[in-house]
């Protein structure tokens, strides 16, 4: 997102002009949101009113506020923070991104209102501010920074930052899901991406990772509180909650895959079969008229059976195939995913046992009813009506909590360190006495077990199970969520799963071009941040080997992890 770097001599010669220009540009961006941007009040959420910012005006003000904050941290009342944050790099990323955002906004106004003649002074002021910020940021000199590992802030302040960050995520998600205008939705994505890159380049998220380590329990609690409150921001909308439930199912499955790919380093391209096996078990043992198994145990039992069936399939596919690795393992798992899908087609009573009704699947699956609570009926809580999908959202949230607990416990155990050793160098791990085959098989079984749990709920939430739901493209999306979010991390995979499931749904207004745009966004993201949006330090070091501070942090974390083992 940065422009080509200026020569050092030129930057030193005009360094005194860079900071004032960047500050003025940021202030102009901030003020522009208070002015009218268009003559037409019927477009883009009515951006024709002054001193009442909406949509694009509000987004410009957010970018301007980030610019003012970074500028004052570089030189001003907050200058002491500039010793820890790389404000120069942050301002450069913000300047380039803000210019991109303003140009996009002007194009949106011209497209919706019929030409640039309909752009009011607020839009042109935003363009001037973005240009000044872009130019000024190029001349802002970088400073010598302190290490975040030595930073000690007020614990109360750090907790406040965590709470404010979670609140921003909640309101941001509620806002963007409530936007039907494609220009506003894409504008929000551009604004969020620009702000994210600016703060990331400045080192804000590196600091947040240290804060998260110091207040891990607070962060976890805040995250679950935000997730719990999300349905109460949707005014009973089933459309958005349907997307949210699909995101949670996708995320739960992706965390299971993260064990196989992110920790053990095994490339699995047929993982969707484990989700499908759990879904079919849930469908066959449901009270649907087309269900093929007469036994109808309680749903908790069904969940365990579906998870065990998926784990058994993981053992079956893992035992003969984990002797291979790399591309060969990917081909074998890809074949397994296709075998599962074709088997569901053939188990129709003609080509095999009558279990799945073949291509017709098992439709008409009734909603869950646990302890007298009907998931198919709306319920009113605190005066807010929660629909059918909100009910499933809450049970999926509990499932996500259980899966995260399993993942983190395994990751921090001797088993998790064995998986990481296999991922880094399988031959070296085996030479050190690690049971590589047993641990790889365990990884397949545990990951499949977690996916099977999610599948049993998915069958009832979808009210149907059919082979067409479990194609190779779904496995590819799951793998992309792990890689994009950050291999071996929980928060990264949750964010990656949200992006990969949310964007295609909200980009439907682009019709046949939505997958093309979606692919381009993924390419840009992976080009800018190849280690993932929220990467583990070890994974990040693979892409930034010259970062000595990061190497010291990774070594310190390794010593901390090894201390309990040495004590034993």
Whether residue 281 is found in the same domain as residue 338: yes
Domain end, chosen from 195, 229, 263, is at 229
2 in a structural domain: no
Instruction: Produce one character per residue of 293-323: b if its CB has 16 or more CB atoms within 10 Å, e if not.
Output: eeeeeebeebbbbbbbbbbebbeebbeebbe
205 in a structural domain: yes
The string of pLDDT tens digits covering residues 439-479 is: 888 998 999 999 999 999 999 998 888 988 888 888 888 88
> Which domain covers residue 59, as residue numbers?
8-229
Around Cβ 355, how many Cβ atoms within 10 Å? 20
What is the chain's length?
568
Backbone angles phi, psi at 370, to 5 degrees: -110, 120
493 in a structural domain: yes
The DSSP element (H or E) to which 379 belongs, if any, is strand 379-381
**Average pLDDT by stretches of 10, the chain with 568 residues:** 53 70 94 93 89 92 95 87 86 94 94 88 94 91 73 78 85 80 88 90 84 81 87 80 90 91 86 92 89 86 94 86 77 89 85 82 89 83 83 92 90 88 85 86 92 93 89 87 84 85 74 70 75 68 55 51 46
Average pLDDT, whole number, for the chain? 84
- Scan for tokens 């129709």, then name that residue: 348
290 in a structural domain: yes
- Scan for tokens 């790099």, then name that residue: 89
Whether residue 548 is found in the same domain as residue 402: no
Instruction: Determine the pLDDT at residue 34.
Output: 94
Instruction: Determine the pLDDT at residue 397.
Output: 92
381 in a structural domain: no
Whether residue 280 is found in the same domain as residue 323: yes
Instruction: Determine the pLDDT at residue 514.
Output: 65
Here the tokens at position 280 are: 């079919």
Whether residue 136 is found in the same domain as residue 204: yes
380 in a structural domain: no
Domain end, chosen from 197, 229, 261, is at 229
CA distances in angstroms from 412 to 62, 134, 418, 496, listed in the order given: 38, 44, 10, 22
Q: Which of 267, 326, 253, 241 is nearest to 481 (CA)?
A: 253
The answer to whether 302 and 365 are in contact (CB under 8 A) is no
Whether residue 119 is found in the same domain as residue 18: yes
Whether residue 89 is found in the same domain as residue 202: yes
Instruction: Determine the pLDDT at residue 567.
Output: 44
Please give the tally of structural domains in the chain.
Answer: 3
Q: What is the pTM of this model?
A: 0.81
Q: What is the CATH number for 332?
A: 1.10.3470
Q: 34 by DSSP, 3-state: which?
A: coil
Whether residue 421 is found in the same domain as residue 545: no
- DSSP tally for the chain: helices H, then strands E: 22, 6
Instruction: Determine the pLDDT at residue 563.
Output: 45
Around Cβ 478, how many Cβ atoms within 10 Å? 28
527 in a structural domain: no
Q: At a CB cut-off of 8 Å and minimum separation 6, what does 406 contact?
A: 446, 450
Q: 374 by DSSP, 3-state: which?
A: strand
The string of pLDDT tens digits covering residues 314-351 is: 888 888 777 777 778 888 888 888 999 998 988 887 87
Whether residue 442 is found in the same domain as residue 494: yes
Whether residue 204 is found in the same domain as residue 257: no
Question: In whole angstroms, what is the distance from residue 131 CA to residue 88 CA?
Answer: 16
1 in a structural domain: no
Whether residue 173 is found in the same domain as residue 263: no
Whether residue 109 is found in the same domain as residue 172: yes
Domain end, chosen from 186, 212, 229, is at 229
Whether residue 186 is found in the same domain as residue 262: no
Which residues, listed in sequence order, are joined to residue 369 by a DSSP beta bridge? 374
């Amino acid at each position: 997102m940065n422009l080509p770097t200026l020569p050092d001599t030129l930057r030193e010669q005009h360094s005194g002009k860079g900071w004032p220009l960047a500050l003025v540009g940021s202030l102009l961006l901030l003020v522009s949101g208070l002015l009218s941007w268009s003559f037409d009040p019927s477009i883009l959420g009515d951006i024709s009113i002054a001193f009442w910012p909406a949509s694009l005006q509000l987004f410009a003000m957010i970018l301007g506020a980030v610019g003012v904050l970074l500028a004052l941290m570089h030189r001003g009342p907050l200058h002491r923070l500039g010793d820890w944050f790389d404000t120069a790099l942050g301002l450069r990323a913000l300047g380039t991104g803000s210019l991109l955002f303003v140009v996009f906004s002007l194009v949106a106004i011209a497209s919706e209102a019929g030409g640039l003649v309909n752009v009011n002074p607020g839009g042109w002021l935003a363009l001037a501010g973005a240009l000044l910020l872009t130019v000024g940021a190029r001349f802002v000199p970088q400073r010598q920074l302190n290490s975040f590992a030595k930073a000690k802030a007020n614990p109360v302040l750090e907790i406040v930052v965590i709470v404010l960050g979670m609140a921003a995520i909640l309101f941001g998600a509620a806002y963007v899901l409530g936007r039907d205008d494609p220009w506003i939705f894409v504008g929000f994505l551009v604004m969020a991406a620009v702000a994210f890159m600016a703060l990331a380049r400045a080192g804000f998220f590196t600091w947040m990772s240290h804060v998260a380590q110091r207040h891990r329990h607070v962060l976890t609690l805040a995250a679950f509180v935000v997730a719990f409150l999300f349905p109460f921001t949707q005014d009973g909308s089933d459309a958005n909650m349907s997307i949210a439930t699909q995101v949670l199912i996708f995320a739960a499955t992706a965390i299971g895959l993260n064990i196989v790919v992110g920790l053990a380093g095994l490339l699995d391209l047929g993982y969707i079969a484990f989700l499908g096996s759990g879904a079919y078990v849930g469908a066959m043992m449901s009270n649907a008229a087309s269900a093929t198994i007469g036994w109808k145990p309680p749903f908790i039992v069904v969940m365990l059976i579906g998870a065990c069936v998926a784990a058994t399939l993981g053992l079956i596919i893992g035992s003969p195939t984990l002797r291979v690795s790399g591309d060969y393992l990917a081909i074998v798992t890809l074949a397994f995913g296709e075998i599962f899908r074709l088997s569901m087609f053939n188990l129709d009573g003609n080509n095999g046992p009558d279990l799945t009704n073949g291509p017709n699947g098992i439709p008409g699956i009734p909603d869950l009813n646990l302890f007298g609570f009907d998931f198919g009926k709306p319920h009113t809580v605190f005066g807010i009506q929660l629909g059918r999908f909100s009910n499933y959202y809450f049970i999926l949230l509990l499932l996500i909590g259980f899966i995260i607990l399993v993942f983190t416990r395994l990751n921090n155990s001797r088993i998790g360190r064995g998986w990481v050793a296999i991922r880094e160098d399988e031959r070296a791990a085996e030479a050190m006495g690690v049971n590589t085959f047993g641990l790889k098989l365990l990884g397949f079984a545990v990951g499949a077990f977690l996916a099977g749990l999610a599948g049993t709920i998915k069958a009832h939430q979808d009210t149907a199970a059919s082979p067409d739901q479990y194609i190779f493209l779904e496995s590819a999306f799951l793998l992309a969520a792990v890689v994009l979010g950050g291999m071996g991390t929980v928060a990264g995979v949750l964010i990656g799963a949200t992006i990969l499931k949310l964007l295609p749904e909200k980009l439907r207004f682009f019709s046949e071009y939505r997958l093309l745009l979606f692919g381009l966004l993924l390419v840009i993201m992976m080009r800018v941040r190849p280690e993932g949006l929220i990467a583990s330090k070890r994974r990040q070091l693979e892409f930034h080997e010259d970062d000595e501070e990061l190497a010291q942090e990774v070594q310190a974390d390794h010593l901390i992890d090894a201390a309990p083992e040495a004590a034993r």
